[in-house]
Amino acid sequence: MLADATLWAWIGALGMFAGTIPSLWLWYRRPSEWEYYATLAGVTGIAALAYAVMGFGAGNVATGGGVLPVARYVDWLLTTPLLILYLALLARPSRRVIVALIAVDVVVIAGGTVAVVTTGFVSWAAFGVATLAYVGLVYGLLTVLPRSAASQPDRVRAVFGTLRNITVVLWTLYPVVWLLAPTGLGLLTASTEMLVFVYLDFVSKVGFAIVAVASADAIGYVDTVDGDRPAAVTGASAPADD
């Protein structure tokens, strides 16, 4: 069982590493659009590291509620905000909206973490809080971000729509897998859970990055909120600049 989970982790690490190369390449070729490619490279690069840690069998912490794969939850905590940030770099909402979406996302992942390390009522309550936060996040992705994206040119709106849909559909499978896995109802084994999460992570990160890179022409059309020069030129107006 453990050997299987380790194998899947290494497959994940290799896949994520390979999936980082196109973003690094564009970062190098188009330095003026660096925030976009750095965000994408961060998503897959962090995941490659996290899977390598899991491949070495490190980072599993035994807790009262069960084993917490720290690398996985740290990965999610860092990369899900980056994926949201990429959507925001296309839709260009206000900074407040970006902060709110990322804050809600952190509640989702933190709630999931608490649910893993606790048992009984506390665990299910944490799962409930995380799920409610997730519903709020989906609302933001389906209604708030598109309102900002509406003022973007057609090409930007189309790419935003595709990436946003990939995100909403795939992310929604995570709590389902979590529920079926040993963390929830225990209908899946730990190695099947690992396999399914590697697959989901791969499509939601590398799939996202490949669609983003293949549609990178759209970046040239993005209108920033507080000015009509590209963020890479004004610097100050770019949400990624903190």
- Mark residues 123-142: x for contact with ligand RET by CB under 6 A, - for none: ----x--xx--x--------
With binding defined as CB under 6 A, does residue 108 bind ligand RET? Answer: yes
8 A C-beta contact, residue 134 and residue 163? no
Nearest distance from residue 154's CB to ligand RET, in Å? 27
Cα separation, 36 vs 164, in Å, equals 15
Indicate the angle between helix axes 190-201 and 34-55, nearest 10 degrees. 160
Cα separation, 116 vs 157, in Å, equals 38
Question: Between residues 88 and 232, which has the closer beta carbon with respect to ligand RET?
Answer: 88
Question: Between residues 157 and 205, which has the closer beta carbon with respect to ligand RET?
Answer: 205
With binding defined as CB under 6 A, does residue 201 bind ligand RET? Answer: yes
Question: Between residues 211 and 225, which has the closer beta carbon with respect to ligand RET?
Answer: 211
Question: Between residues 7 and 68, which has the closer beta carbon with respect to ligand RET?
Answer: 68
Please report, to the nearest 10 degrees, the dihedral formed by the alpha carbons of residues 13, 14, 20, 22 taken in order.
-160
Question: Between residues 103 and 233, which has the closer beta carbon with respect to ligand RET?
Answer: 103
Question: Between residues 203 and 240, which has the closer beta carbon with respect to ligand RET?
Answer: 203
Cα separation, 165 vs 147, in Å, equals 15
Select the span of 48-56, 60-68, 141-149, 168-176 touching ligand RET (CB under 6 A): 168-176
With binding defined as CB under 6 A, does residue 174 bind ligand RET? Answer: yes
CA 78 to chain centre: 8
Select the span of 11-19, 24-32, 107-115, 229-237 touching ligand RET (CB under 6 A): 107-115
Cα separation, 126 vs 114, in Å, equals 6
Which run of H or of E encompasses 131? Answer: helix 120-139
How many C-beta atoms lie closer than 10 Å to residue 131's C-beta?
Answer: 17
8 A C-beta contact, residue 225 and residue 237? yes
Segment 44 to 103, residues that bind ligand RET, using CB under 6 A: 76, 79-80
Binding residues (CB under 6 A) for ligand RET: these are 76, 79-80, 108-109, 111-112, 115, 127, 130-131, 134, 171, 174-175, 178, 201, 204-205
